[in-house]
């Protein structure tokens, strides 16, 4: 990848080196260092790109956490836009500048030089804020080195990415390292495993005393939330559902307040103008009631499923191939705990046999009398929808707004939302 600053070419790819180029060295391309040395090229460490790109005009907000990164990042982005700021958003759903999608789905956090390329684009478009998701992989691989964060946010830590981090302890340590410095930070103090440097720390909570503390909440057709900051009460309503979304919205409100110092009443009004995040507790249909969500961990599923205590849940899900296989039976167990019907299917099997993944999930379900196994995801959605009645909610979990199904090293076009709408349209046409 290339970055051009004041006519100087910076690249992290030795194949792109040309006369007077500068090779950007990182943890990921260290093995190619000798090629740059032998070619006589200047070499700098990726973290030192900050010495070449003037980022003084833009505030960088970074969000990490197992669950809630995308919703929190997107909500912050949308609130800031609503308040009249120019904003860029980088994350799982792609790269956006001032309402326009510039790049499609990508890594949650790009390689180091990729971050600087996108920040440069944001600056060129007069953005005052750069909101970014920060994955555990990015922290571990030093992909956010050299970025001066105006605010770091930590949403929560639960089991995920153990195919990469190997142990939950290692994963927790990596996540917590993001908050170990003295930069301004915002922390969910209800998560007991979060550790952070208390200097310049702000907190939010639904259970404990905090800078932004929820004191009342009602969840019906809409959620109403009341919170206090500096002993003053504020409130907002939202169509977004689930306790976990109250956490996401509180993080977003607090983040905008900390970085802009705008009146909290104005920020709460902006929240009420925001509907939802694509593929995150997204209502695809009201009748029948069908929701699509990205939940792909036992804890993430638990948070979604327990949000509907008065509904008969029809849960459709699978598990990704070549990822943490130990979480699969746990996902099955969670689905069983809350669901009237379970449809186990395929979800990005990659190089694994989908049947084996499904077997792993089923190992966590003792009584399988209410379980349907359907490897074909489109057929699984049909079967789930055929079970609905007035008391039901169909929760389609795992893929969110992903537009593809990954089989082997190939990506096939597949969207849960598109497929659901096709099925409903066929039913409507028949009737």
Annotated binding site: 14, 65-71, 108-109, 135, 141, 143, 323, 347-350, 398, 402
CA 143 to CA 137: how far, in whole Å? 8
Give the Å distances, CA to CA, from 78 to 87, 246, 280, 282, 313.
9, 16, 15, 16, 31
Give the Å distances, CA to CA, from 169 to 142, 187, 273, 296.
19, 19, 39, 20
Contact between residue 11 and residue 117 where contact means Cβ atoms under 8 Å apart:
no
Q: Which two tokens stand for residue 171?
A: 């994963």
CA 346 to CA 358: how far, in whole Å? 7
Tell the residue number behind the tokens 């909500």, with chain if given: 75
Give the Å distances, CA to CA, from 173 to 69, 217, 314.
18, 32, 36
Contact between residue 146 and residue 50 where contact means Cβ atoms under 8 Å apart:
yes
| Residues annotated within a binding site for meso-2,6-diaminopimelate | 323, 347-350, 398, 402
Runs of H (alpha helix) within 202-275: 243-260, 264-272
CA 246 to CA 217: how far, in whole Å? 9
CB atoms within 10 A of CB 166: 11
| Residues annotated within a binding site for ATP | 65-71
Of the candidates 96, 111, 99, the one whose C-alpha atom is nearest the C-alpha of residue 25 is 111
CA 148 to CA 53: how far, in whole Å? 12
Contact between residue 381 and residue 316 where contact means Cβ atoms under 8 Å apart:
yes
Give the containing element (helix H, strand E) for 172.
helix 168-177
CB atoms within 10 A of CB 23: 22
């Amino acid at each position: 990848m290339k970055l051009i600053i004041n006519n100087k070419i910076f690249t992290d790819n030795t194949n792109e080196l040309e006369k007077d180029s500068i090779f950007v060295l990182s943890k990921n391309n260290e093995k190619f260092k000798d090629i740059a040395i032998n070619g006589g090229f200047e070499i700098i460490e990726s973290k030192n790109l900050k010495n070449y790109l003037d980022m003084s005009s833009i505030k960088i907000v970074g969000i990490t956490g197992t669950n809630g990164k995308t919703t929190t990042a997107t909500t912050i982005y949308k609130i800031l836009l609503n308040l009249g700021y120019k904003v860029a958003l980088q994350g799982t759903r792609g790269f956006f500048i001032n309402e326009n999608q510039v790049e499609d789905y990508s890594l949650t956090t790009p390689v180091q030089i990729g971050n600087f390329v996108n920040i440069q684009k944001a600056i060129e478009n007069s953005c005052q804020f750069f909101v970014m998701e920060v994955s555990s992989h990015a922290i571990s691989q030093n992909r956010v080195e050299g970025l001066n964060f105006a605010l770091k946010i930590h949403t929560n830590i639960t089991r995920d990415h153990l195919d990469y981090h190997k142990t939950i302890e290692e994963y927790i340590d990596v996540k917590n390292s993001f908050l170990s410095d003295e930069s301004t930070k915002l922390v969910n103090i209800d998560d007991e495993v979060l550790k952070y440097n208390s200097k310049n720390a702000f907190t939010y909570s639904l259970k404990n005393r905090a800078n932004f503390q929820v004191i009342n909440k009602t969840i019906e057709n809409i959620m109403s939330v009341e919170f206090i900051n500096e002993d003053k009460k504020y409130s907002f309503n939202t169509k977004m559902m689930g306790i976990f979304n109250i956490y996401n919205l509180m993080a977003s409100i607090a983040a905008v307040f900390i970085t802009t110092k705008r009146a909290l009443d104005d920020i709460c009004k902006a929240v009420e103008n925001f509907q939802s995040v694509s593929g995150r507790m997204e209502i695809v249909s009201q009748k029948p009631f069908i929701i699509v969500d990205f939940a792909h961990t036992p804890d993430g599923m638990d948070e979604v499923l327990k949000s509907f205590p008065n509904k008969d849940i029809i849960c459709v899900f699978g598990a990704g191939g070549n990822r943490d296989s130990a979480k699969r039976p746990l996902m099955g167990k969670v689905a069983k705990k809350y669901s009237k019907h379970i449809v186990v299917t395929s979800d990005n099997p990659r190089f694994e046999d989908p049947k084996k993944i499904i077997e792993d999930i089923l190992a966590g379900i003792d009584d399988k009398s209410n379980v349907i196994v359907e490897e074909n995801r489109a057929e699984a959605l049909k079967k789930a929808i055929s079970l609905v009645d007035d008391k039901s909610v169909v929760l389609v979990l795992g893929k969110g707004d992903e537009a593809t199904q990954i089989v082997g090293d190939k990506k096939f076009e597949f969207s849960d939302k598109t497929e659901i709408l096709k099925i409903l349209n066929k039913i409507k046409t028949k009737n």
